[in-house]
Amino acid sequence: MEEFHEIVFPSREELMAQLPDYQRETLIPILLESKDDPIEAIDKWLNSEPVTVAQFGGAGETRNFAHAIKEELRKFLCGDKAYKKERDALLKQGSSAQALTVASLTMAIAPVVGVAAPIVATVIVLLILSFGKITVGAWCAINK
């Protein structure tokens, strides 16, 4: 069975395809405006017009959840025992795990940070895009 530190995430197109059309249509211009920098796009998207974020289940709050989501994503991907059950379930999926990655991460992290799943999913996609071509192991080492 693969370990999480060996996983290289899917391409940008495959990741973006995991978001519903309405999320992609809102996110793509923000990503382009951010000069293709996913981290900058997270901040712009989460702090965008309340109507924009509200359509994803947000309450029009301006609180930036990026740090909390990134910390929980780090725990999930880097082996924190809090997410062992969820990691094991995802790894059992084998090659089909890529299709379940964003959904699985979102379902595990959203309740912990108390943010609507569509908001968490979008931030997760952007964070994974920020990995570039590095492996999860390298990302974990950088984000200790």
56 pLDDT above the threshold of 60? no
H helical segments located in the chain: 12-17, 21-33, 38-46, 50-54, 66-77, 84-91, 97-113, 117-130, 136-142
Q: How far apart are CA 144 and CA 128, in angstroms?
A: 16
pTM of the model: 0.70
Q: What's the pLDDT band for 64 if we cut at 50, 70, 90? A: low
Q: Where are the domains of the chain?
A: 4-142
The pLDDT tens digits of the residues spanning 71-98 come to 888 888 888 999 888 888 877 776 555 5
The pLDDT tens digits of the residues spanning 17-54 come to 888 888 888 888 888 888 888 888 888 877 765 444 44
Write b or e for each residue in 76-110: b if 16 or more Cβ atoms lie within 10 A of its Cβ, otherwise e.
Answer: bbbbeeebeeebeebeeeeeebbeebbebbbebbb
At 124 the pLDDT is: 86
Q: With pLDDT > 70 as the criterion, what percentage of the chain qualifies?
A: 74
